[in-house]
Structure 1
């Protein structure tokens, strides 16, 4: 009866999206608890985290326009040696090309603390690119805000940790104290005409309706007051988010996005998801955030980031294409150029089996697969990797490859032009085939590695007094 009485005096309004009458929900106010709520039932720490369900589901609500943002120079730098200024500028150029003329990579965020980082910011801003927009990241500190003002940034991210783990245990504040502190820094930014991006750190362990929604409602009030955009980034800092229908918040990605959009009133275009991969869910959670109301998904090149890393930028490029049926101007061949730049110039090793960029991502090694691949590459290749990534499909060499298979491997591995390509009558192919046959005659059961084949090809070229190939 009490629940029925609760709805008696609530206004009824039309939802213009689904054309249904709805009763207005109550306003969510801050629950200024005396002790931290760390959801010990879900996060026992001495046990593996638990994923409870209540079977409450929310509808799909993908925005008309979705895009990618980048944190390669911020979160991506927190788990590796810092990039040089020149490397940052070069990668920023690549991101601009990859995002295409429609700016599908909408923004890239930078640290401001070191002279190197500030120099990189200046040099990237001097490029004059509309996209990716150069933005900064600071702690919720008035001292940090001085750096933003000095550089003249149009937008800055602010760390506004939202779980009680951070508010009580790290900041040693109450929820009310934390909210008031964060809002004061946000107001300072808005007073200077600087747009704010609030990073809700650790949202998948936060009290969504007791703290996060009330805080975001206050942010939306400030945005209305100053008429300056205030973005909200939902940060799955520990990778606890799940996309399972009916999972309980704060672990439910769609539940969080629904709360931020529907109950806190954050517009789609000001909502962004930032995921981590601790439980192998960064990509699927980021896609889920798109499907349920986020316009922006924050990423890092090759997933490089804190601990297990962030959502890989290149993964979301192809997630976008699969959801929308087009690339909207993105130049995916730049992904391969970036991978080569990281390997050759930065010295970062990309694991061989990494999708889209690993050395072996489109190499088939099973003998029966190789046979099918030689007949028609669509059988065992995910899409036209040569068209989209300048990466022709490769067939590993085994006892079933034959002369044609070895010739195919040499032609594709070394990227030989039509005029340079070898066929099965080539003496180099014949020499390599002799070595391969001997390997299996001696009992070998595994396929040839790239290094072994390159060594044998080099030896054959020397024996035949022919120039060596270079990849």
Structure 2
């Protein structure tokens, strides 16, 4: 105890007592946390009520894996599609570069062509980085292209070390460190992807391994990043949950016990248990500067943390968008659906076609009186998408009036209200449709035809008195 160092934490401005060292625990049998992860049972979330403090970094950012993990579950993008999306990511990230990096495969000519074309854009952000296999041949490819950073897979749970790699922890660590050293020898900054960290022995393998990585960082004077990969989505953000499932506990351990600076910690989440967004936000709150995301959450199995979700999480946590252009999200959604042919689920927040559409008549009545009542924020300002009402048998007079006002861009004195003759006649037509056995929502084309015919019979023009 007497030899432990006392130092000043620059973030909290409090004196801290250095924790004891964490040597590698080289077990004979794998520790797969069978008490938490019985394969024939649902995984368990256990608690020990050990609470770690929030430690939001001075600056936080988003990184992108649309062209890497995002391509592992869909038809590969063409070179032109990658360049177009990359351009939009640059616009979305804004002048401050809040979308800091984007990672690419390098194996096919198509991928390499896309990398060259993106580099030609000359953008500072998102920085083009790569993801490679842990081989010297791949390092040379990164160097040849001129990239400054690359991701390297370093699986860290005993599931992978013992069952997939067929190694001991000591053999595995030595192998990983030799690979990272080779990368550093080429002058390239390695980004170590700690796969399956939420089933890993954090203090028996992960912390000792990261301590060695930080020594290499100091030796070569080249940044060594740590990507916290919640590969199976087991991570939880609950205070007092036990590691390895605790995201706060993992981030705290890396910062405090392994000495990894916040700017070198990045969280990569999967959505198997619907927790990708919450876990990413939690990683920010407890000391990770970066969260790694994919557009619209497209990725392996249930997908990654949706990039557009973290744009709005950023704004909520920081109180500002810091120059990010959120209208680009709508541009990207339209491009995916119209040009790429990918159908975004209609209820997807911020991007789905129905995310701000209401079908309930009582909600429509509220929207008609004041859209703040039933809309999350000014979606027309931030996403170029005003709140809409889908007309069905439950929409009521208010829903039809709101639909007409929105569709025809009627404002102020030109708006129709639920008491107008036009709205009542359209409502009568809608009721007859459903009385006749209809069960589907009415299409825009049908409504436009009915409204046009009704206006003609009434001798009115929308924009005038209705």
Q: Could you state the TM-score of these two structures normalised by the residue count of structure 2?
A: 0.92
Q: In structure 1, which of residues 190, 202, 210 is the aligned counterpart of residue 184 of structure 2?
A: 190
1:181 maps to: 175
Give the 5 Å matches for 1:288-307: 288-307=282-301
**Corresponding residue for 1:125?**
119
- Report how many aligned residue pairs link the two structures: 455
Q: Tell me how far apart the structure 2 counterparts of residues 464 and 143 of structure 1 sit (CA, whole Å).
A: 71
Q: How far 1:149 sits from its partner (Å)?
A: 2.1
Change (3 A) 1:457 1:229: same
Q: Relative to structure 2, which stretch is displaced further, 376-385 or 430-439?
A: 430-439
TM-score normalised per structure 1: 0.91
Closer, same or farther: CA 87–261 of 1 in aligned 2, 3 Å: same
The corresponding residue for 1:340 is 334
The yes-or-no answer on 1:310 pairing with 2:301 is no
SS of aligned partner of 1:69 = strand
Residue 19 of structure 1: CA displacement? Answer: 4.4
Q: Structure 1 residue 157: deviation in Å?
A: 0.7
Cα distance change of structure 1 residues 307 and 195 upon mapping to structure 2, 3 Å threshold: same
In 2, Cα distance between equivalents of 1:11 and 1:174: 32
Gaps of 5+ in 1: 1-6, 467-471
Instruction: Say which is worse superposed, 179-188 or 268-277, in terms of deviation.
Output: 179-188
Counterpart in the other structure of 2:93: 99
Instruction: Name the structure 2 match of 1:10.
Output: 4
Q: Is contact 2:208-2:258 (8 Å) kept?
A: yes
Paired residues of 2:270 and 2:303 also in contact (CA < 8 A): yes
Residue 213 (str. 1) matches residue 204 (str. 2)? no
Contact 2:263 2:288 in 1 (8 A): yes
- CA distance in 1 between counterparts of 2:53 and 2:251 reads 11
TM-aligned CA deviation for residue 168 of structure 1 = 1.1
Residue in 2 that maps onto 1:324:
318
In structure 2, relative to structure 1, the CA distance for the partners of 1:16 and 1:108 (3 Å cut) is closer
In structure 2, do the counterparts of structure 1 residues 463 and 406 end up closer, same or farther at CA, with 3 Å as the change threshold? closer
Find the counterpart in structure 2 of residue 258 from structure 1.
252
Q: Does the Cα contact within 8 Å between 1:399 and 1:436 map onto a contact in 2? A: yes
1:358 to 2:349 alignment: no
How far residue 301 of structure 1 moved from its aligned partner, in angstroms, is: 0.3
1:146-295 matched pairs, under 5 angstroms = 146-295=140-289
Q: Secondary structure at the match of 1:246?
A: coil
Tell which deviates more after alignment, 219-228 or 289-298: 219-228
Is the Cα–Cα contact under 8 Å of residues 33 and 199 in structure 2 kept in the other structure? yes
In 1, the alpha carbon distance for the partners of 2:191 and 2:302 equals 24
SS at match of 2:240: coil
Q: Runs in 1 of length 4+ with deviation above 6 angstroms?
A: 424-431, 462-466
Question: Are the counterparts in 2 of residues 167 and 178 from structure 1 also a CA contact under 8 Å?
Answer: yes
Match of 1:110 in 2: 104
Asked if structure 2 preserves the Cα contact closer than 8 Å seen for 1:370 and 1:396, the reply is no
Unpaired segments of 5 or more residues in structure 2?
Answer: 458-466
Give 1:150 deviation, angstroms.
Answer: 2.2
Distance 1:150 1:428, change over 3 A: farther
Match of 2:78 in 1: 84
The Cα offsets for residues 199-240 of structure 1, whole Å up to 9 and x where unpaired, read as 100000011111111111111111111111111100000000
1:68 matches 2:52: no
Matched, 1:455 2:446: yes
In structure 2, do the counterparts of structure 1 residues 402 and 212 end up closer, same or farther at CA, with 3 Å as the change threshold? closer
**In the alignment, structure 1 residue 25 sits paired with structure 2 residue 19:** yes
1 CA distance for matches of 2:89 and 2:75? 20
Question: What is the Cα deviation at residue 35 of structure 1?
Answer: 1.5
